[in-house]
Every structure is written in structure tokens, then in C-alpha cells.
Amino acid sequence: MDLKTDEAFLGTLLLELNIITETQLHEALDRQENTSIEQLLGSILVREGFCSVDDVILALKVQQSIRGGDSKDSKRLKALAFIDFAISRKKSNYARDTAVRRGKILDKCQDDLRVSKSTG
């Protein structure tokens, strides 16, 4: 994989952020290579359900910070800051989504109890 290309670099960032797996990246790159029309890697990854649009945007922001006009050390620090932010954001989103799912399950159980008490 040539890290100098935007596509490969985007895929590598998504791997480093633990957003996609190596298998998913290779599958998306194969699809990209074997299509008759030019498709962006991020679009393929989202369409296949391997990651979200927000995940691709985040990786593109990291990519942009690395490729900016700053010194190498500054670029690395920015990239690390973005990666830390991304990881914490994914964790908080997971916690929020889990809490919402648990709340919905609890509401459903309470509704089922009310129905069974009213019919029983």
C-alpha cells in the first residue's frame, strides 16, 4: 500500500483509529480498483457499512492536519490530538448509544408489565 496516495493514507488512518479492520480496508480497495467508474475510498467504506460518514470526515481532518504546512513534530502532535479526540468521541458515542438502547429496553419492559397487569 502506497502511503503517499490520499486513498491509502485515509484507509491507514481509519485502521489506526480502529474504525475499520484490515480486511474491510482491503475489500474496499479491491472494490475501488475493480469498478469501471472512479469511486472515493471513503464513499465505498460508508456504502458498505464499514464506517460512518462522520468517521471518514474525522480521518480526513487528521489527514489534513498531517499534510498541513506545519513542522513534522507539529503535524504529529495535531494528528495525535485528533486521534485522542476521535477515540474519546467514539467511546462517548458508544456509551450514549448503549444507554439509549438500555432505556428503550427498560421502557418496553415497563410497558409490557403495565399491559400484563391491566389484562391479568
- Please write the tens of the pLDDT for every residue from 38-53: 888 888 999 899 998 8
Q: Tell whether the model's pLDDT for residue 1 goes beyond 60.
A: no
The answer as to whether 52 is a domain residue is yes
The C-alpha angle with vertex 77 and arms to 76 and 81, in degrees rounded to 5, equals 115
The answer as to whether 32 is a domain residue is yes
The answer as to whether 63 is a domain residue is yes
Rounded to two decimals, what is the model's pTM? 0.53
The answer as to whether 105 is a domain residue is yes
Taking the C-alpha atoms of residue 89 and residue 95, their distance in angstroms, rounded to an integer, is 10
The answer as to whether 84 is a domain residue is yes
- What's the structural domain count of the chain? 1
pLDDT at residue 2, rounded to an integer: 42
- Taking CB atoms within 8 Å and a gap of at least 24, the contacts of 79-85 are 82/58, 83/16, 83/17
The answer as to whether 1 is a domain residue is no
Q: What is the mean pLDDT of residues 44-67?
A: 84
C-alpha cell at 96: 450514549
CB atoms within 10 A of CB 62: 24
Percentage of the chain surpassing pLDDT 90?
Answer: 16
The answer as to whether 71 is a domain residue is yes
Range of the domain at 76: 6-119
Q: Tell whether the model's pLDDT for residue 109 goes beyond 90.
A: no
